[in-house]
Each structure stands twice: as C-alpha cells, then as structure tokens.
Structure 1
Amino acid sequence: MQFPVLTPSRLRPTIVAALLAASLTHLPAFAVEPFVLRDIRVEGLQRTDAGTVFGSLPFRVGDTYTDDKGAAGLRSLFATGLFKDVRIQIDGNVAVVVVEERPVISRVEFTGTKEFDKDVLIKALRDIGIGEGQPFDRALADRAEQELKRQYLSRSLYGAEVVTTITPVERNRVNVTFTVTEGEIAKIKNIRITGNQAFSESALKSQLELTSGGWLTWYTKSDQYSRAKLNADLETIKAYYQNRGYLDFRIDSTQVSISPDKQDISITINVTEGVKYTVTGVRLEGEFLGKENEFRSLVTVKPGEPYKAEDVAATTKAFTDKFAAYGYAFARVEFKPEADREKGQVAAVFQAQPQRRAYVRRVNVAGNSRTRDEVVRREFRQYESAWYDGQKIKLSRDRVDRLGYFKQVSVDTAEVPGTQDQVDLTMTVEEKPTGNLMLGAGFSSADKLSLSASIKQDNVFGSGNYLGLEFNTSKSNRTIVVSTTDPYFTDIGISRSVDLFYRTTKPLSTQGGDYELITPGASIRFGVPFTEFDTVFFGIGIEQTQIKGDVGLPVSYYLYRENFGDRSLSIPLTLGWARDGRDSVLVPNAGSYQRVNLEWGVAGDTRYIKSNLQYQQYWPLARGFTLGINGELGWGKGLSGKPYPIFKNFFGGGLGTVRGFDQNSLGPVDVQGAYIGGTKRINLNTELYVPFPGSGNDRTLRLFGYADAGNVWGEDQTVSADDLRASVGIGISWISPVGPLKLSYGEPVRKFDQDKIQKLQFQIGTAF
C-alpha cells in the first residue's frame, strides 16, 4: 500500500512513538481532524497476539478518532513492555498500528560463577524481570548486572566483575550471558579500636564476630567483611560497655578501607567510653496498681553495683509483662536515669503508666489452611470476653508452637475501633508438612547396619491426631510398631495412645548363636494433664515373650526357659509422671525434665515390678554454651515368689549410658560371655555443649565434652560406688537430615580388667 506524501493537504500526520504524550498534544501544524474509524490494522507482529494490541487501544471501529486517543493508545501499548517501538499511521479513515516487538529472552546463562548456585541466580533474576520467555529490556539487564555485583560484595568479593553479553538468535530472540570474574575474597587484615581506656583492645576484639585471619577462619569465614556483621559487632561492644557501668558510652565513627588490589580490608572503630556509673538506688514512679512491692521484687538492678543495661532491659520487660498479666495490654514503662557525671553515680528510675485495662473481645486464627481451628484453639489459655493476660497469651503461643505443626506462630494484638477497653487477638500460623515417609539406613558402632522405614503423620487430616507405622532392623534389635495417639481423647485434654508391636531382641554375646527373644504385644495408655507442664500416665498392656533357639543361648535364659517354659505371658499395668520444662526436646538449652515410670506385672505368667526415674537439667551459659546433667535410676524385683523376668533386665554401657564402654556390656556376664543386664542401674551424665565453629546460632549442630558414670547390678548384687565405671570424652551432636547423629570419643577413667572398651561410638538414623 502507498501512503500519502507528508503534506498538509494530503496527509493526516504520522504519530511516532518517539513523541510522547506531551509532545503529541502540542502539534498544531499537523493536528489530526477528528474522523470516524472505518478500520484498524496492526502490522509488525511476530509472537504477540493481535488481541493484546486491540485490547490496549482506547478506540474501536466506529469510534471517533482524535489526537488524544492516539496518544493514549501509544502510552497503553508501551506500558505493556512488549514493544520496542510503536507508531500509529492514518490512511484515510483507517488507523494502522505499526509495532516493533522487543526481543524475547531465549536463554539466561552464567559463566565463571562458583560462589553462587546457578539455579538460585536464575530465580533471583527472574524476580526482577530477566528470565526465559520474558521480553528483553536492556535497562533490566543493567540492573541485573548491578544486582549480581552487589551479591558478590556481600560475600567480600570486591574485585568481582560482571560482563553482560546479548546474543541475537532466530525469531527475534536473544540469549543473555553473564560472564563473571569472581576474583579473590577480600579478607580483614586488621581491626583497630581507638578511644578505649578501661578495657584493652584485645579484650574488646574478643567480643567481635568479625576477626582478622586465623587458623580456623578458612572454615568460620569470620575474616570476611559484612556490613551486617559489623553493625552487630558494634552493638556487642556497646552492650559490653553498658553492662559494665558505662551508661554514656558511644561509638563515634567507623572507617572501613580496602586496599588498591581489593584484597585487604582494614576496620577502625572510634569510641568514647564516658564515665563509669554506680547505681545508688532504684525508684519507682507513676502508677503501679497499688502493688509496688510485687513490682519491686521484679527489679534486677542492684544499688551499689555498676550500672548494667541488661538488668534495666530485664526489669522493664518484667514490669511490662506484669502489667499485661493484670490486663493492661498497653502499659508503658520507661527508664529515666538520673546521672551525676562528676560523682559517677546514677539513680535508676522506672516510670510506669498502665494506661487502661483491656478485655479480649475475639480470638482469631489465621493461616491454618489444613489444620482445623479447634486444634489450635484448644491450646489457648487466653479466653474471649476475659481480661487480657499477657502470661496466658504467651503460654498459648508456646503451646501451639510445641504442637510441631507450624513453621512460625505469632500473636498480634489490635485495638477494637470505637472502644477504649477491648482488643482482638489474632494467632497467625504458617503450616508445614507434618507427614513423613522415610526409607533409609542407619549405622551404629553397636548394631552395625540397620534398615528403617516409617510412615508417620503427626496431624492426620488436620485433626491433631498421630498415626504411625515404624519398622527397624539391626543386629540385636528388630521392631515393627503401629501406633496412634489422640491428644484430646476427652475435651479436658486427656490423651490416648494405642500401640501394636512385634519385637525381636538378641542379647549381645561374644560367642554368637541363633537364639532370640520374640515379643508380640499391645498396649493402651492415657495421659492426664494436671498442670501446664505435668502429665500423669496410666495404662495396661499384654505381651508374650518367647525364648527361641538353642545355639549360643545364655545359661541364664536356658534355666529360665526350663523353669517357666519357652513362652511367658505378661499383663503389665503402667503408671508414670512427667514434667517437661525444657525449651526444646531435641536441642535443649534451658529448663528441666523429670520422669517417673512404674511397670507392674499383675497377671499372666510373670509377677514383677520395674521402675525408672530420670532427671535432666540444662543451664544456658555465656556465648552459646550449655551445661546439662542427666541422672537415671532403674530398679526391678520379682513378686509373689517368682523371679524377676530376665528379659526385663536393664542394660548399661555405650551411647545413652556410660560412653567409652561397649554397648550394653556393663553388669553381670553369663558364663557363656553374654551380657544379660541386671535388675538395678545407675546412670549419671554431664555434658557441656559449645557452638560448632561457624554455625552461628544454629543449635542443631554442637560440640560437647562429657563425663559419665554408672553401672548395672544383678538381683543378688549390692549396689556399691566401688563398682561404678566412669569415662570422659568429647563428641558432636547434629540433627541431620537423615536423623539425629551423635558421635563421641571417650576414655574410661575408671574400669576393670574384664570390661570391654569402645572409645569411638556413634549412631545415626535413629533417635537416641
């Protein structure tokens, strides 16, 4: 088609994409006279659907076309991001939309990237518009290049260079290649602190996470500069001073310089210490609900001692929590020190404004797409239409978190519009998968290779119930268990658990053999919560133990079988109590755990009583250290003139008892060399956990040192401290993807000639 020549008498002027809206509305010489559109044509399309163009135009066939509509159409088409150039040409009463499509990205490639995984980079760039199938924009490519450089700066690769190459391919597509020269990581050469007088530079630098080069920095990477780490270190120095009396301490400036070759970094921190203050007294001001004595008992700031910011923060929080416990959700507590710089004295003044007491109008649950509302709500201890109670709200959050069904649990408080004394609570949860299908293998120094398989669902159909099938096999223990637990069998929180099991065990022996103990059975037990932390358990079970095989059968088992037959039916009643105040079950850092369990064989072929007592305590120490102790006592006795069943014996030695000795090797030994256990056991463990270098705050990976003591005694033996075995050692604890792992290396410090020693012991793939 031939378009008219550009003359005022022949042509309604061409509207070019380069003339934006402001220009298009100021063309008096070639203004288009309004006319009725007879047709609209689109030219230049290769991949884009014509409907996308027609849908972006503000005019249709039959409409009156004007300059304003043409300018609006250009803006709308450019806004789609699909076109590099757009023009509207007028041919008679026909609007011809001429487009030049942007190239589409065919492939995004990276070369030279070692520090980052390529899949992570591809995903990150797609989020900013650079990805396969997306329109190519040079500005976005430049932005992506700068983002890559910024990421390398965060890894202390200051010499990293990024070059973007655009390669056209067929069908108006391009390949985008980012070529990276990473260079060497810049290391912190030195850190200097100036202005310090009260504490040495080395003492202050020992508090920092960032360090200059050392023998382990290749692993910890603490010599790699990070602005976030530096800011955290500055806060650490500030806290260090303010917890030692220096209320006015401040950091004046920090200088970070890099060498010309971008390999060495120097950091200088300039501080002003100020005066060291001693607390002369503590004063409470404001309204304390007439309970000043209660609040004063919460004060941890002590007169006569140096000012400590951590004590001030702890007191302020304790006051706020106390007000919240009385229903004052909006209480304000401010610390206003009265300092005398000349004398170096400060009076600690806490000013409180309880504001108004509040009721909880409504409790909402959000984020639970699968878990039923009632599963969350039944853990609440803060009720609707009751006084706001901060302690009950925290307890409610903790109880929901301990369910293990959610990644995150948070509680938000919102004032009710139009009221002065009501709030709404919203508990927001983020669900996580609660089912677990596992097929795997484990290995322990005692049982060698063991296979395991399990199907578990902790939150079946969102009901909060547990259902599981477990199968384990090892050299000495094989088990299959089907179990189910309803944590709210009754509305008041009584739980019910049902187990069906089939176990085979083989006492460890130096001579081997084909004998084994086969025990099928079932049990049902109930748990009754008496407090938030105390639960009483009771139940009944039925099990039959068969002593099978003859080759290598220990004499004690042979005699028991001769006297009572090769099958023994037991119907035990169980009664127990547990109090769990630990902050974590797998990686505890604080709190205690106590357990008492009693098993009483009341019917069947056996009559016995078996008891277990356990106590654990954990104390958090400075810099991520944790001290833990564990004590266990076991005792069993035959009743009604019958001996204690030998297959109910306690065992000791190895992981879980006294490390450094062979697994289950402590206590009485049969004449054939089999370790048959005993009716009495004492086990004492002490562990000092320390953070694994470079793991930060991750407590799932820790080093530990330990000291163990204990032993096992037979029914006719007297418990004596002279018989105790003891060991010391070191180890590593890790909650690995395939299960808990514990490895220890120990040295017995109290042993006897007949003891079997095993210094290196480990277990993975099963609980311990």
Structure 2
Amino acid sequence: MKLHILTRFLLICLLLLSQSVKSEEEFIVSDIQVRGLQRISEGTVFNYLPVNVGERFSLGNVGPAIKALFKTGFFKDVSLEREGSSLIVNVVERPSIAKILFEGNKDLSKEDLTKALDKIGLSEGKIFDRSVLDKVELELKRQYLSHGKYSLKIKTEVANLTRNRVGIRINISEGRVTKIKEINIVGNKSFDDAALLKKLELNTTNLLSFYTKDDQYSKQKLSADLETLRSYYLDRGYINFNIESTQVAITPDKKDIYVTINVKEGAIYRLDKVKLTGNLIVKPDELIKLMTVGPGEIFSRKNATETSKAIQDRLGDEGYAFANVNMVPEIHEGNKTVDMAFFVDPGKRAYVHRINYSGNTKTRDEVLRREMRQMESSWASSSKIERSKTRLERLGYFESVNVETPPVPGTADQIDVNYSVVEKSSGNLSAGIGYSQVQGIVINANISQDNVFGSGKRVNLAFNNSTFLTSYQFGFYNPYFTTDGVSLGYNLGYTDRNAGAINLANYSTTIANAGLDFGIPLNEFDQLRFGMDLRHTKLKTGTNSSQEIDDFINGNDGKGNTRSTSKANGDSFLTFAPSVGWTHDTLNRAIFPNKGGQQRLGAQITLPGVSDLDYYKISYKHQEYFPLSSDFTFRLLADIGYGDGYGDTDKLPFFENYYGGGTGSVRGFRNNTLGPRDTPISRKLRQPLPFGGSTKIVGSAELFFPVPFLQESKSVRLGAFFDAGRIQNGFGTDNMKYSAGLSGEWLSPFGALSVSAAVPLNAKPFNATTGVGDQKQLFQFNFGQNF
C-alpha cells in the first residue's frame, strides 16, 4: 500500500515537471519568447531570467528560473515551455494600482495617510500585492493611535479595472478620541503628585488640551515622561530611584485611558569626595573651575553631566577632539554618600586635515573661508570650530549652517571639518506696498544684492514713498575691504520728510546726503567705526508752525524780538559731521538671536567753521539675550541718546530731536508722543504737538517664545514684555513711562510684520487743548518695514 502511494506521488511530480517543460531532454536555447506581457517589457524579463540564448537548458534549470521571475513581484503565475530549441516563458502579470481612495478620514489628511501606506509598499502606480493589504490596517492603526483614536475601524475594498489595473477603497471610521482620564503616581513620598505631574508632557483633559493634545496617550510620550521623571529624581539626590512598573488601562468603551506609574524613591545621597583622575593634560586648577559639583552637595546627575561636558569642551580647545570624560560614582549605602571621580581620557591630539564646504552654489569658498577661526593643519579646537559656524550664520546668506568633524580614514589623529550650508536668496528685486500706523500706506521699491556675484559685497538701491517720507538711497558695503577685515561703505541719498504727517510738529525737511564709513576690527567681537557724513538740509515750516521752530529760524525770543545770545539759523544748512563708534557683538544670529549680546556706542559732531550748525549726538544701545531653554529666550534692552548744541548753536536742532512711544520704544503709548510738545503760534488753530527732546532713555525686558504650533519656525515668534522710557530735554529719570503687554513678530514673504498689545501702567489723562497727558494706543502694528 505504501509503495503504491509513493509511486503515485512520483508520477504526479513527473507530470508537473513535464507540464513546465514539455521535453526533459537537455537542449541548446536558440531563442527565448515571452508571452502574456502587458505593461512590463521583455527586457525586464530577460534581465531577471537566469538563462541566455546559446546556453544549455535542462530540467534542473526550471526551478531557479521560475523562482527568479516570481521574486521580482511582477507576476502572479509563471510557467516554462519548449518549442523545438526555443524556450517559451508564459507569465500572468500582477495588476497595478490605479487609484487609492480614502473615505471617512478627518483627523489625518489624505497626504498623511498616503505617506504612511507608501512606507509599506502600497501606492498608486505600484504593482498590487494582495498580501500587503494585511499590513494596511496595522499601519493605519499605528498612525491613528498616536492621535488618541483607539476605536478605529478600517475596511478595504479592491475593484478590478480595465487594462489589468485595480482600484482600492479604504473606508475609515475614526471614532472618538480616547483621552487620558487619570494619571496616578504610586510610591512617591518626597514630592506630591501635583509637583510631579507638572513635569510630564501627558496630562488629563484641560482647557488647552484641544490645542496642545496633551490628553492624547502615546507610547512615545509616556517613555519620554518616564525619563523626565527619572531625571527629576536623579537631579535631586535620589540615586537609587527606580520606576517599578507602568500600567496603561483603557475602558471597555475605549473612551478613557488610565495611566499608573509605580515608583520607588529610595534615599537622598550627598557627595562626599569629588576628584579628577586620568591624564588631565590641562592644568588641574583650570579644570576645577569648570566643576559644578562639590563635597557636601546633594548628588545631581545634571550637574555631574554638565561638569563632564565642560571638561570635555576644554580639552577640545586644546586639540583633543576625541576626549572622553567619564563619571565614575562610588556609592556608600551605609552613610548615603557618593564619591564621584571624573576620569579623563584625552585620547590623541587631533589636527585639522581639511576644511570643506558644500551647498554654497553661489557664494565663493573664499567668502566662507575668511570667516574661519579654525585653521587647517593646526590643532582642532571645538570652540573655534563652533565660532566659525556662528560667523557663517551671521553672514545672513544661509538658511542653515551645519558642521561635522569626521576622522580622516586611515589616521588616528586627524579630522576633517565639513561645513554644509543651505543658501537663501541674497538678492532682492521687489516693489511692494505696506501699511504702518505711523506712516500710513507705504510704497517701496528695492533692488539689493547682499552677496554680489558671491563675493560678500552688498549693493543697494531703494525707493520709499509714504505720506511721511519720500526717499531715494544708494549704498555699497565691502566687509573685507582689506584682508585684515577692514570694511568700507559709502552711501548717497535724497530724503523728503513731512513730520506733520506722523503726529509731529508742522515742518518738513529735504535732505541730500553722502556718507563714507570704515570699520576696523579690534578682536573677534569688537569693532571701531569711523565715518564722515556730508548733509544739506532744507527746512520748511507748515501752517501755524511752532514758536520753537520760528525762534530757531529767526533767532527770536518768542515775542518777535531778536535774542542777543542767539543768531538767526535760517532754513538751509550744510553740515560736515565725522562720527566714531564702537561695537561689541556676541549675538549668535543676525535674525531672532537667542544667545549673546550687542553693544553700540556712537558719537557724531558737526565740524565747526565749515558747518552751518554746531551740535553733537551721543548714543548707546545694549541688548542681551539669555536662553532659558530651547524654546524660551529672555532679552534685556537699554537705548540711551543725548544731543546738544555748542558754539553758535545754543541747543540741539529740533529736527535732530529724539522721539519715543510706539513700536521700537515704549509700546502702548501712541507713536512719537512721549516727551515735550511744541508751542503753537496760535493755540486757537491747533493743539500742541509732539516736539521731541534732546535726551532719550528707553529700556525693555522681554520673554520670547515660539508660536505653539510652529516651534520649529525661525521666522515667527511671540513675546511678553515690560517697557519703560522717557524723552526729555536734559538728564534725569523723572516722568518715566511704563507699559506691559504681548508682542508678535513675523518675517513673512510679503514683508516684516510686528504687532503688540500693550497696557500703559502710569498714563495720565490726555487734554487735547493743553497737550498735557499721555495718548494711549493699546494695539500697534507695523507691516512692510523692517523691525
């Protein structure tokens, strides 16, 4: 009986093989024909078929040939036949996917779902493999689970279409979001639940959950929260802290989730001994200054890690790019103390082999190379490499700058420094329209190139027109006029300003100017600037002008009588004004910096004897940025200015006065309204108008943070601020004005937009007749102009 069954099995196998190849005899293949193709070319089949014309073919070649064609995934059936000395390949192609339709999806877009299915090999135009459908539900569930949808239902339908194609319809029932009902921490004794839960990203439903989605459970968020919890305890001395277990339970109706975290706190450990061991290289006294941990302190993993990083960076400055500083704790359970040793392994000192650049398709290599503080063939310095990266970012030519320091293959003491940049448009040919609460409608045209022919030089030709200002300007700037970094700039301009159009006293000025400017670097962060400005000013008075303007022009005492101590200045002035300035700049970025500071001190004086007016102006501006975290930055700003006349000019000319209030000053107060007001020649015709003063004091404290749903954007930010300032004639801090509010800044494709909503804190009621008091403006914005 068994022999009979075996005989039948062998006969069936022989029959199957004979159907694949009609003749079992070995033969020389004179021709290969492929039958059944619709979309796939014969060349594709020949490429995968392990048989060529002129080769011997036998029964033993059948299996590998069929297997090779099936492995391509293009066919659902393959068979081989022999016709004389020709090999016939019969195939049945798998259908292609003509269309994938999604129905019922609301929480996830079609684009998101399409990307998810493409990862598992299901997309329009690809060959359809029915086995992939089994993965569809798993992948889509994974996508929806990250959005808190646990009651998801998916149904797929496949329809046959013409020309061996299929259409796939995916019906999705998303269900409601499953929300976290409760988070319990069990085992905590030293810290209450409220303090610990505040540290977690996951949360129960609250007023902002519709926006932050923090009440939607995900495994990734929970893992991050557990690490946050662990770090919280380890930074406070609980060196044996442990998370015993976590339980995530979902209600039968899949509407609520309960999370339970079981912890074991342990005892608080203090540091007993702290020492440096290993090959220190650098003087121990220098390294000890970098340590943020010491005997008697509560153990903190954060402080220990920062110490290790600081020592490693210091060694990196000496060329030890591969240095390791390992923390080696020795725990004493008896007295609850820890001995901490920092073991220094500097490795080999590394040289920089090559500094390479990529991505700079427009900017010349020399423009990047002259910003380098790390040199080739010298010791590698981590601080110099990072400083070089910062200098490239500050050029303003690139959207992003990244640096890598791979070791040179085949060496143990050399690295390459590779800077990769993403260029942005450094040229601008634009015409636009904007609106400002100060200037009204602003029409502008601008032709500028910050990086002419990739050379790093800047050329600018601009035209601006508004109810306040008509301006034509031409400028040129070469940041490397000499190889030592001495800069040269010059400008020509014509400006017509109507002060009365922006809530100032009734006068206008027409100014033609030419200027020259040199910058001399003193060190990495400091620069001296020397300039000369030639200016011709034509003054025009408006209807019912100010008594102060009339006195300045005619030299009167306010009653029509000529003062003995003053002269008639007239209404046309030619001035030659040299200037000197000092800049200390450690900002990490030119736009939206978050670290470093900038100080600017400048002085300008008109030359006596050759200038029609004798006056000087001194200014100082200091801003400092403090990174509080990756998202929050705190800024302090001080802006001070003072001017006065000398010689035959008894005071600062009124058209050089300082103004305050509004954007860029004390927000919440109407633009330019802080400070003294003029005296109308006739009070019957108008009220007193802002006239400015010779002294400006402005300060601001502001906390910047990203827009919640645009954390990665570098072109938009929000802020909460406190402003203070005054405009007066003379010194003093009396009559300071204060405000507080919220701000927003956006570098949009259509121009810069800044908005603020501020509340003046000590404004006095405004009397329009006398001009006494403060004019408030709670909401202020500026569009179409630079910040």
TM-score by length of 2: 0.86
Whole-Å Cα distance in 2 between the matches of residues 84 and 277 of structure 1? 67
The match for 1:751 is: 764
Is 1:735 equivalent to 2:718 in the alignment? Answer: no
The match for 1:195 is: 187
For 2:147, the aligned partner's letter is R
The match for 2:637 is: 630
Q: Is the deviation greater in 92-101 or in 291-300? A: 92-101
Is 1:720 equivalent to 2:727 in the alignment? Answer: no
Is 1:685 equivalent to 2:697 in the alignment? Answer: no
**Alignment match of 2:261 (pick from 248, 269, 273):** 269
Shift of 1:604: 5.0
Is 1:615 equivalent to 2:622 in the alignment? Answer: yes
Shift of 1:468: 4.4
- With over 3 angstroms needed to count, the CA separation of the structure-2 counterparts of 1:49 and 1:449, relative to structure 1, is same
The match for 1:21 is: none
The match for 2:558 is: none
For structure 2, list consecutive stretches of 5 or more residues without a partner in the other structure. 1-10, 555-567, 681-687, 767-771
The match for 2:382 is: 390
Whole-Å Cα distance in 1 between the matches of residues 270 and 50 of structure 2? 76
For 1:44, the aligned partner's letter is G
The match for 2:674 is: 666
- 1:643-658 alignment runs, 5 A limit: 644-658=652-666
Deviations 1:1-35 (A, max 9, x none): xxxxx99999993439xxxxxxxxxxxxx763222
- With over 3 angstroms needed to count, the CA separation of the structure-2 counterparts of 1:439 and 1:276, relative to structure 1, is farther
- With over 3 angstroms needed to count, the CA separation of the structure-2 counterparts of 1:718 and 1:371, relative to structure 1, is closer
For 1:388, the aligned partner's letter is A
CA contact 1:450–1:474 (8 Å) conserved in 2: yes
Whole-Å Cα distance in 2 between the matches of residues 645 and 64 of structure 1? 104
Whole-Å Cα distance in 2 between the matches of residues 178 and 439 of structure 1? 48
CA contact 1:660–1:748 (8 Å) conserved in 2: no
CA contact 2:725–2:738 (8 Å) conserved in 1: no
For structure 1, list consecutive stretches of 5 or more residues without a partner in the other structure. 1-5, 17-29
For 2:775, the aligned partner's letter is K
Whole-Å Cα distance in 1 between the matches of residues 59 and 105 of structure 2? 51
Is 1:574 equivalent to 2:579 in the alignment? Answer: yes
Shift of 1:379: 1.9
CA contact 1:734–1:741 (8 Å) conserved in 2: yes
Whole-Å Cα distance in 2 between the matches of residues 304 and 526 of structure 1? 56
Shift of 1:196: 0.8
Shift of 1:338: 2.5
For 1:654, the aligned partner's letter is G
Q: Is the deviation greater in 291-300 or in 559-568? A: 559-568
Which secondary structure does the structure 1 equivalent of 2:368 belong to? helix
**Alignment match of 1:357 (pick from 349, 358, 367):** 349
Which secondary structure does the structure 1 equivalent of 2:674 belong to? coil
Which secondary structure does the structure 2 equivalent of 1:723 belong to? coil
Shift of 1:357: 2.4
Is 1:708 equivalent to 2:688 in the alignment? Answer: no
- With over 3 angstroms needed to count, the CA separation of the structure-2 counterparts of 1:411 and 1:703, relative to structure 1, is closer
Which secondary structure does the structure 2 equivalent of 1:666 belong to? coil
Q: Is the deviation greater in 679-688 or in 596-605? A: 596-605
Q: What RMSD in Å do the two structures reach over aligned CA positions?
A: 3.4
**Alignment match of 1:535 (pick from 523, 527, 533):** 527
The match for 1:760 is: 779
Which secondary structure does the structure 1 equivalent of 2:18 belong to? coil
For 1:492, the aligned partner's letter is D
- With over 3 angstroms needed to count, the CA separation of the structure-2 counterparts of 1:41 and 1:707, relative to structure 1, is closer
Shift of 1:663: 0.1
CA contact 1:547–1:557 (8 Å) conserved in 2: no
CA contact 2:508–2:542 (8 Å) conserved in 1: no
Which secondary structure does the structure 2 equivalent of 1:674 belong to? coil
For 1:662, the aligned partner's letter is R
- 1:342-421 alignment runs, 5 A limit: 342-421=334-413
Q: Is the deviation greater in 95-104 or in 411-420? A: 411-420
For 1:314, the aligned partner's letter is E
- With over 3 angstroms needed to count, the CA separation of the structure-2 counterparts of 1:54 and 1:639, relative to structure 1, is same
Which secondary structure does the structure 2 equivalent of 1:167 belong to? strand
The match for 2:4 is: none
Whole-Å Cα distance in 1 between the matches of residues 206 and 229 of structure 2? 21
For 2:740, the aligned partner's letter is G
Q: Is the deviation greater in 128-137 or in 554-563? A: 554-563
Shift of 1:195: 1.3
Which secondary structure does the structure 2 equivalent of 1:90 belong to? strand
CA contact 2:319–2:381 (8 Å) conserved in 1: yes
- With over 3 angstroms needed to count, the CA separation of the structure-2 counterparts of 1:544 and 1:64, relative to structure 1, is farther
Shift of 1:515: 6.2
Shift of 1:765: 4.0
- With over 3 angstroms needed to count, the CA separation of the structure-2 counterparts of 1:460 and 1:113, relative to structure 1, is farther
TM-score by length of 1: 0.88
Whole-Å Cα distance in 1 between the matches of residues 515 and 42 of structure 2? 71
- 1:295-334 alignment runs, 5 A limit: 295-334=287-326
Shift of 1:300: 1.0
Q: Is the deviation greater in 214-223 or in 47-56? A: 47-56
Shift of 1:569: 3.7
The match for 2:683 is: none
- With over 3 angstroms needed to count, the CA separation of the structure-2 counterparts of 1:366 and 1:696, relative to structure 1, is closer
- With over 3 angstroms needed to count, the CA separation of the structure-2 counterparts of 1:65 and 1:660, relative to structure 1, is same
For 2:110, the aligned partner's letter is K
- With over 3 angstroms needed to count, the CA separation of the structure-2 counterparts of 1:176 and 1:194, relative to structure 1, is same
Shift of 1:141: 4.3
- With over 3 angstroms needed to count, the CA separation of the structure-2 counterparts of 1:35 and 1:433, relative to structure 1, is farther
Whole-Å Cα distance in 1 between the matches of residues 574 and 13 of structure 2? 112
Shift of 1:457: 4.4
Q: Is the deviation greater in 596-605 or in 609-618? A: 596-605
Whole-Å Cα distance in 2 between the matches of residues 66 and 524 of structure 1? 90
- 1:482-631 alignment runs, 5 A limit: 482-508=474-500, 516-547=508-539, 550-551=542-543, 554=546, 556-557=548-549, 567-602=572-607, 603=610, 605-621=612-628, 625-631=632-638
**Alignment match of 2:648 (pick from 600, 616, 641):** 641
